Structure 1
Amino acid sequence: MKKNIDKKNNGKVSSPDVVNSHTGGSWAYTEKVKSHFFNPQNILLVDPEKETYDAEGIVGSPACGDVMRVWLKIDQAKDKIIDFKWKTFGCASAIAATSILSVMITEKGGMKIDRALKIKPGDIVRRLDGVPDRKIHCSVLSDKALRAALNAWFKKTGQFERVSAEGSKIIDPYVKVTEADIEKAVLGGAFTLKQVQEKTKVGIGYPECIPATEELIRFYCEKHFGK
């Protein structure tokens, strides 16, 4: 069985929380992930009344067991998110990622929408002190749910110029590669960073986008192929 080395704890071996009975592979969750999994913040167990929130975002697939729903209350005059509630059918990482994202948005009395839109999955992962590589796509799911809710708000309030089309987010500004381009590459059989780069050139001249690209590759592989 593979062991997990906790580099932050003087290299001590941490006990795996999950072991694959077929491959023997394992991973350990950080204490922050465990904390937010066992005590999720801002979670709803039942759907709220429509009049109690301003926008809703839904992403994922019930068939895959990874549905994420987000509800926002927004101060329109200040262009600020003042409350963030959520509900999901998902794994420990999905629950923890959305819980910490809700805290990030609301912990200082709310967050300006433009600032919220700048949050990246990597920011969520860092606040959790990391998640297993095979679970990073869960942070992408919570990020997408937030963006879906904000898109709903923009449409509701006539701010159509602020609506971000699905997959239109630019990952590599140098070659104009978008999320949709990454998904298309994965659907075309590119399952590794090298293979995706061969198809799109993403990250070759802008290596800063490679972590986000790798997260998206994992997300789309899981979404479409269960890898």
Structure 2
Amino acid sequence: MRKNKISEYSEYSGEVIRRFLNPKKVGIIKNATNVATVGNPKDGDVVRLFLLIQNEVIVDAKVQVFGCPVAIASADILAEMLKGKTIGEALKIKNKDISDALGGLPHQKIECSVFAESLIKNAILGEN
């Protein structure tokens, strides 16, 4: 019997599948300088972002995610994109940047990735 790859049956890009199955930036930063949460567990996805900022540079970023594969992959790639960025550079990251970095997303799953801008602003500027 032939074993099939998940990607053969998926509407998601290989990058979404890789990050969903093996996220790189999931976890907690115990000495985080900034923490923000977006989402509502009653309505769907919830993402918590932990940042360690030193001298206006994000030296580490991690996420905790409760959600669908796209939410997990989007949060993971966001945390990876943030590491090493200045605060100004981080605030320029747009939701489309996340989708593009994931190789595009199915139209019906875009809403699972549109938390990046609000999450960054909430974490850095304390905005909701």
Normalised-by-shorter TM-score class: 0.7 to 0.9
Q: Tell me the secondary structure at the aligned position of residue 111 of structure 1.
A: coil
Q: In 1, distance between residues paired with 2:58 and 2:97?
A: 18
Q: Which runs of 5+ in 2 are unaligned?
A: 1-6
Superposed structure 1 runs of 4+ greater than 2 Å apart: 14-17
Q: In 2, distance between residues paired with 1:92 and 1:151?
A: 28
Q: In 2, distance between residues paired with 1:63 and 1:42?
A: 25
Q: Which residue of 2 aligns with 1:54?
A: 33
Q: Which residue of 2 aligns with 1:155?
A: none
Q: Tell me the secondary structure at the aligned position of residue 136 of structure 1.
A: helix
Q: In 2, distance between residues paired with 1:100 and 1:138?
A: 13
Q: Is 1:65 matched up with 2:44?
A: yes
Higher relative contact order (CA 8 A, sep 6+): 2
* Aligned mate of 2:104, from 114, 130, 148: 130
Q: In 1, distance between residues paired with 2:47 and 2:116?
A: 7
Q: Which residue of 2 aligns with 1:36?
A: 19
Q: Which runs of 5+ in 1 are unaligned?
A: 1-13, 18-27, 153-164, 167-227
Query: How far does residue 48 in structure 1 lie from its aligned partner after superposition?
Result: 5.0
Q: In 2, distance between residues paired with 1:67 and 1:55?
A: 17
Summarize the alignment of residues 102-113 of structure 1 with structure 2, pairs less than 5 Å apart: 102-106=79-83, 110-113=84-87
Q: Which residue of 2 aligns with 1:148?
A: 122
Q: How does the TM-score come out when normalised to structure 1? A: 0.50
Summarize the alignment of residues 155-194 of structure 1 with structure 2, pairs less than 5 Å apart: 165-166=127-128
Q: In 1, distance between residues paired with 2:112 and 2:99?
A: 10
Q: Is 1:114 matched up with 2:88?
A: yes
Distance 1:48 1:123, change over 3 A: closer
Q: Tell me the secondary structure at the aligned position of residue 130 of structure 1.
A: coil
Task: Look up the equivalent residue of 2:59 and give its one-letter code.
Answer: I
Q: How does the TM-score come out when normalised to structure 2? A: 0.86
Q: In 2, distance between residues paired with 1:87 and 1:132?
A: 23
Contact (CA 8 Å) 1:55, 1:150: kept in 2 or not? yes
Q: Which residue of 2 aligns with 1:93?
A: 70
Number of positions where the alignment pairs a residue of Structure 1 with one of Structure 2 = 122
Q: In 2, distance between residues paired with 1:149 and 1:142?
A: 11
